[in-house]
Every structure is written in C-alpha cells, then in structure tokens.
Chains A and B, each alone.
Chain A
Amino acid sequence: METHDDDDATTPPAGTPAGDSDPTTPAGDGTDPSEAPTTAGDAPTGGAAHSSPDPGPRRLYKSADDRMIAGVCAGIAEYFAIDAVIVRVIAVALVFAGGAGLLAYLAAWLLVPERDAGPSERPGRTATIVGAVALVLAVGAVTSFHGGPFGGWHWSGPFVSLVFLGLAGLGIWYLASGEHPSVGGARDVLRRAGFGLALLAVCGILALAGAWATAAGGGIVVAGVVIVAGLWLVAAAFVGGARWLILPALALALPAGVVSAANVNIDGGVGDREYRPVTASQVRDTYRLGIGRLVVDLRDADLAAGDRRLKVDLGVGQAVLVVPRDVCVTTAAKIGAGDVAFFGRDSGGVDVDWQEEHTAPAGTTRLVVDGDIGVGELAVTHEDPDRFANDHGGESPQPGNDACVGGARG
C-alpha cells in the first residue's frame, strides 16, 4: 500500500479550520451553527461539509496547460506567479552551465506530480527530499564548475553521477512498469531506482551478448530467442501482460539487427594484421579479420598477368589494400556502415555499394577485389599503408589505378 508521508504530516483533515477550533469539540457547542456536521458521514471529521475548503500548503505541480516538454518550467512559474518564459530562459541557460539544468529538469520531471494527479499518484516526502537533494547538487555542480565554494567537480561530480544514475533507474522503471517514480516512501523510491538500474544492466548485457553472438555466427540462435520472447509476450498479454520483458527483448533484438545489417563477422579474430607477400604464390585468395586493422601490401608480390581475384572480409575496423602501380584494380565492395576510399575518391554512409569495373591492357595484371566490410573502411591505394593512415582524407586526392585501359579514374 502506498503511503503519502507529507500529506499526512502537513495537511489538516478536510473541513477543519486550521488553528481555529479543536476538532474534538462537539459541533454546535458554542460554535457557529453553520459549521455543524450536516451528515453522519461528516461527523467523524469534525468539520463542516460546506465551509470553504482549506487549500493546505501551496504545492508545486507540473503544468498541464502550458507545457513545452513536461510542463516543469510552467509549473515553477505558476508556483512563483511569474512568466513561464523567464523560467524557461533560466532553465536553458542552466543546461549549458555544466548540465545542471538538465539534471534539475530530469529530477523535476520524475518527481513533481501532475496537477490532476489522484491521491495514489501524489509524491511522498521521500520524493520531495530526493528532488530537493537533486536540485541542491545541481546548484552545487554549477558553483563548483565555476570555481565556487564547493571545491570543484571532484566534490560534487560523484554525487551528481549517483543522482543521475538514480534518476535513470527511476525513469527506466517508469517506462517498463508504469509505476510513478515519486509515489511512496524511501523504500519504494529506492526499489524502483534499483529495479530500473538492474533492468538497464541486464539490457546492456543482453545487447552486448546479442551483438557478439550474432557477429560470431550465432545469429540464428539469437533470432530464435527473440522470436520466443515475442511469443512469450503475446501469450502473457492474455494473462495479465509481461511488459517488463519488452525492454530486454528489444535490447537483444536491435543490436543483433544492427550487426546483421552491417554483416559483421568476427570469425577472423581480433587485432591488427599485416600481410606483405613477396611472391605471387604467397598471395591468398581471402584475407579475413573480425575486428581490427587489416593491411594487405601487394607491392612486392610479382603478380602474373591476367585476372587475380582477392577477397577482403573485415567485421569491424579498417582494411587497407596496397597495390603496385602497374596493376589495374577493379572493385566490388559492400560496406554496412563506413566508407570506401578508392585511390583518393571515397564514398561513405550506410549500405555503401562500390562497383568499379575496369579492363586491363593485354599482358598485364588485373586485380579483382571483392570487399565485404561490416563497419569501417576499405581503402585501396598505392601509398604506404602507414602514410595512408595519416594522410588520406586530405585535400589533394592521390593519383592511382593508371594501369587500366582508358586511364584510371573512371
């Protein structure tokens, strides 16, 4: 059962004139007859049903009528009876002052109730205290950011981070369960923050695990788990629902989808690989790497005349293919997300397809490159790979691929 500490502690019983009469005094006993209870139901409260209700302490609410985001600034403006624009300007200024405005806004968003909130949605005293602490820390962060008396970010930074974490937990749990973050006592608020952070941690682990498993070749298993989670949700919908499962299922599915769309494959291992074959026989048909930098330098490989096919398969990272100047290069490359740099010309973005078909003069070598990069870059160049790593993307494109029929830069 939810409790509302501040309501109980500060709000007098309905109909009781505050500080005016003893509620135990029988009605009509020397008092104005108009204050006598008119119904049996009113009698226990000792107040009159038709007397003007005591408004109680003035409360801060989010505005429902004048909201730009959540109605926090307008609610503060209503509380202080000033123009909401002034509060908004101050809030925006505080956002750029060490992020304090953002922290304060998040705290208010989560902890300040709506004006029309029912009794079960009103915040307890704990929420008020947490909100006040968040605001004080926000102000402390600003003053320390500007060299104030709080002794620098190292004093307030960890506390602000903890408050951010707690607010993040409350927000996530609110999204997952629908429980209002501010209702109840300290144990309820901490429980929600803890559940939210635990859910966030589980989602993070699931996201990493799903992405890694998909990239390592277990995509079918991951897809199966996602389908089972979806079917579980459908079945649970008819017996009360299982909304808590939505976030973990999405956390598993979406990163796996990104890995699938990028076609990332980390079978080839992790790290930097550099290959410098010195004979044509040492040149492999396929160079593969999971994550890292892959360099294939063919300048010393005396390639025979005719077509030589070469596949470059990289999951995440950069692949640099260095070719001799007397070799014509034709390329078909797919990049999930990243770019292709082909002798100084490049194309980037997502779903990058680079097709470049050239014909080599008779009696010369044509290198047919099949590039498959998940996330990262495929570079084809004549330059030294180390120099390329530092210089590419400069203003003057490097010349290249001049060995093809009809010139080079097709």
Chain B
Amino acid sequence: MAPVDRRRPDLPSLVAGIAIVIFGAVLLLDRADVLTLRFAALGPLACAVAGAILLASGLVRRD
C-alpha cells in the first residue's frame, strides 16, 4: 500500500485561494484608483478564475 503524503495540499482550495487573492487584489487596486478595471478585463479575469478552480477540481477527481 502506497504511503499517504499528509503534507500534500488540497489542490482546489489552494488554486481557488490564489485565484481569489489575485481577483481581490485587482479589485483593491481599482478601488484605490491605481488601475481601472473594465469589462474587457473583468470578463477574461473572471473566466480565468473559474477555469482554474474547475481545472484543479477536475484534476483532483482524476486522481
């Protein structure tokens, strides 16, 4: 029986956390007038966040 690596992080949580931190940072910079968030950027950003989370979840289920 293969040993279980207890230190292996939960991939969906990790990827979702990183993606949400990035999204929140963009929101913060927009509200602070450091950058201007527009729909042309929000659309791809939201798709990237959702895609990364779904991809991570799918990879875990394949394991």
* A interface residues, Cβ below 8 angstroms from B: 178, 214, 219-220, 222-227, 229-238, 240-243, 245-246, 249-250, 253-254, 256-258, 260-262, 336-337, 350-351
Contact = CB atoms under 8 A, between A and B. Distances in A.
Given A237-B14, A253-B24, A223 B31 contact: yes
B42 A261 contact: yes
A31 to B, nearest CB: 39
B46 A257 contact: yes
B55 interface: no
A231 to B, nearest CB: 6
Nearest to A218: B31
B21 A220 contact: no
Interface of B: 7, 9-14, 16-28, 30-32, 37-42, 45-46, 49-50, 53, 61
Contacts of B28: 220, 223-224, 227
A230 B61 CA distance: 22
A246 B27 contact: no
Contact of B40 (A222, A241, A350): A350
A227 B24 CA distance: 5
Contact of A257 (B12, B18, B37): B37
Given A242-B13, A253-B24, 10 more contacts: A219-B31, A220-B28, A223-B25, A250-B49, A250-B53, A257-B27, A257-B45, A260-B37, A261-B42, A351-B38
Give the top 8 A-B pairs by smallest Cβ distance, nearest first. A241-B10, A233-B17, A226-B24, A230-B20, A230-B21, A234-B17, A219-B31, A227-B24
Given A258-B42, A261-B39, A241 B12 contact: yes
A227 to B, nearest CB: 4
A196 to B, nearest CB: 17
Contacts of B46: 254, 257
Contacts of A214: 31
Contacts of A253: 20, 23-24, 27
Contacts of A230: 16-24
B48 to A, nearest CB: 12
B56 to A, nearest CB: 10
A238 to B, nearest CB: 5
A237 B10 contact: yes
Contacts of A261: 37-39, 41-42
Given A220-B31, A254-B46, A257-B45, A246 B12 contact: yes
A245 B20 CA distance: 11
Nearest to A217: B31
B39 A337 contact: yes
Contacts of A256: 27
Contacts of A237: 9-11, 13-14, 17
Contact of B31 (A240, A246, A260): A260
Contacts of A238: 7, 9-10, 14
20 contacts: A214-B31, A219-B30, A223-B28, A226-B20, A226-B23, A229-B20, A230-B17, A233-B14, A237-B13, A238-B9, A241-B9, A246-B13, A249-B16, A257-B46, A260-B30, A260-B42, A261-B39, A262-B39, A350-B38, A350-B40
Contacts of B45: 257
A225 B45 CA distance: 18
A282 to B, nearest CB: 32
Contact of A240 (B10, B17, B38, B50): B10
Contacts of B31: 214, 219-220, 223, 260
A227 B12 contact: no
B36 to A, nearest CB: 8
